[in-house]
DNA sequence: ATAGTTGCAAAAGTTTTGCATTGTA
DNA sequence: TACAATGCAAAACTTTTGCAACTAT
């Protein structure tokens, strides 16, 4: 009888791709594992590309972008735009906001549960708010 | 006696540049008038560049970017990043938030006075929040 | 076979930089 | 004359597109 046991992380990534109706190709599996293992992270496409290279995975930056966008559409990750020409992909897809340290560019999650927003405007009929992004921009105290 | 009367908009733009310690060069004056006359607007660098061309002002896109950033540093305008690779410059510098229509890319101001945000996290000592951006993303109702 | 997918080279945008030119004292 | 500031061509980045190669019937 043949052993069919797959290691855990592999199986988990496979499962998530399947659930999202994305074929488990070599590149996608590699990127899925890179992103979806090891907790909440904020990474740029460029960083994902470098990390892939470090792990010995050959994949072009274009494919990284395309894959990240597919993952986003599938709800596996979120894109957060913080600055002109700098977007982060966030592996935390729970409802939350962001704290951005302008010096250094670090991005930190702020759970939405603890934040309360009131007084938002009404929208035209047929239109709905699909998402609310709150970004707190932090910098060194000027005083 | 020589007439020294300048037309109003010209004088206003001049005044604002002076107050911001920016030399009133031909290009800057032109962009200042384009941006600071005629109410609150959300424009991309590209749009400013086109409008300048239409008004017969010769200025490169690089200069438009550089000037917009100078204006931002001087507090004359604000930059709002809404989507990867798409930043808007906002001539409304009062405290406010944004409603973004994902189909079409229109951006609308939401006065901050009517919005109340509570439960924001504490920051490390020496760090302060320099700005809070709230972006409501609106799209056609899915139902 | 063949219809749909995938991954990437090349193209398209966007923003920044370096420096010749211009303006100021 | 020197010194700083300006405007832009060219360079550097970031992101998207078009299509050849691959996959799964």
Rounded to whole angstroms, how far apart are CA atoms B32 and B27?
8
Chain A to chain B, count of Cβ pairs less than 8 Å apart?
110
CA of B113 to C1' of D10 (A): 45
Nucleotide nearest to A45 in CA–C1' terms: D14
Domain boundaries, chain B: 11-138
Is A123–B138 a contact, with Cβ atoms under 8 angstroms apart? yes
Any strand D atom closer than 7 Å to A73 CB: no
Q: Is the pLDDT of residue B86 over 90?
A: no
HSE of A104 in the Cβ direction (CA atoms, 13 Å)?
10
Give tens-digit pLDDT for B109-121.
998 888 999 988 8
DSSP letter at A113 equals G
User: Which residue numbers in chain A have pLDDT < 50?
Assistant: 2-4
Please state, as a whole number, how many other Cβ atoms lie within 10 Å of the Cβ of residue B21: 8
* Assigned fold of A11-138: Arc Repressor Mutant, subunit A (1.10.10)
Q: For residue A3, give how far its alpha carbon lies from the nearest alpha carbon of chain B (Å).
A: 46
| CA end-to-end span of chain B | 72
CA of B65 to C1' of C13 (A): 14
CB neighbour class for A68 (10 Å; exposed up to 12, middle 13-18, buried from 19): buried
pLDDT value for B12:
85
Put simply, whether B104 touches A (Cβ < 8 Å) is no
Q: Does residue A41 or residue B104 have the better pLDDT?
A: A41
Is A119–B121 a contact, with Cβ atoms under 8 angstroms apart? no
> Residue A86's beta-bridge partner residues?
A83
pLDDT value for B3:
46
Q: Does residue B132 or residue A140 have the better pLDDT?
A: B132
Structure tokens at A62: 């274009």
Any strand D atom closer than 7 Å to A47 CB: no
Q: Does residue B62 or residue B1 have the better pLDDT?
A: B62
Give tens-digit pLDDT for A59-83.
999 999 999 999 999 999 999 999 9
Give tens-digit pLDDT for B2-59.
444 556 677 888 888 988 888 899 999 999 999 988 788 899 999 999 999 988 889 9
User: Which one, of A31, A66, A32, lies nearest residue A50 by Cα?
Assistant: A31
Rounded to whole angstroms, how far apart are CA atoms B32 and B74?
12
Structure tokens at B139: 């799209």
Q: What is the mean pLDDT of chain B?
A: 88
The set of long-range contacts for A52-60, using a CB threshold of 8 Å and a minimum separation of 24, is A55/A30, A57/A27, A57/A30, A57/A31, A59/A27, A59/A30, A59/A31
Written in H, E and C, the secondary structure of chain B is CCCCCCCHHHHHHHHHHHHCCCCCCHHHHHHHHHHHCCCCCEECHHHHHHHHHHCCCCCCHHHHHHHHHHHHHCCCCEEEEEECCEEEEECCCCCEEEEEECCCCEEEEEEHHHCEEECCCCCCCCEEEEEEEEEEEEEECCC
CA of A68 to C1' of C11 (A): 20
Put simply, whether B114 touches A (Cβ < 8 Å) is yes
Q: Does residue B62 or residue A1 have the better pLDDT?
A: B62
Q: Which residue of chain B is at minimal alpha-carbon distance from A135?
A: B133
Q: Quickly state the pLDDT bin for B142 (edges 50, 70, 90).
A: low
User: Is residue B121 a contact partner of residue A128, using CB atoms and an 8 Å limit?
Assistant: no
Put simply, whether B128 touches A (Cβ < 8 Å) is yes
């Amino acid at each position: 009888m043949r052993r069919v046991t797959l290691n855990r992380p592999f199986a988990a990534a496979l499962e998530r791709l399947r659930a999202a109706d994305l074929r488990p190709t070599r590149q996608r599996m590699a990127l899925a594992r890179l992103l979806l293992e090891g907790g909440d992270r904020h990474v740029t496409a460029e960083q994902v590309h470098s990390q892939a290279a470090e792990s010995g995975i050959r994949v072009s930056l274009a494919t990284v972008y395309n894959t990240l966008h597919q993952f986003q559409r599938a709800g596996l990750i979120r894109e957060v735009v913080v600055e002109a020409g700098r977007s982060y992909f966030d592996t935390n897809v729970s409802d939350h906001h962001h704290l951005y340290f302008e010096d250094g560019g670090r991005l930190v999650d702020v759970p939405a549960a603890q934040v309360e927003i009131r007084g938002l405007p009404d929208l035209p009929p047929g239109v709905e708010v699909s998402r609310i992004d709150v970004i707190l921009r932090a910098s060194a105290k000027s005083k």
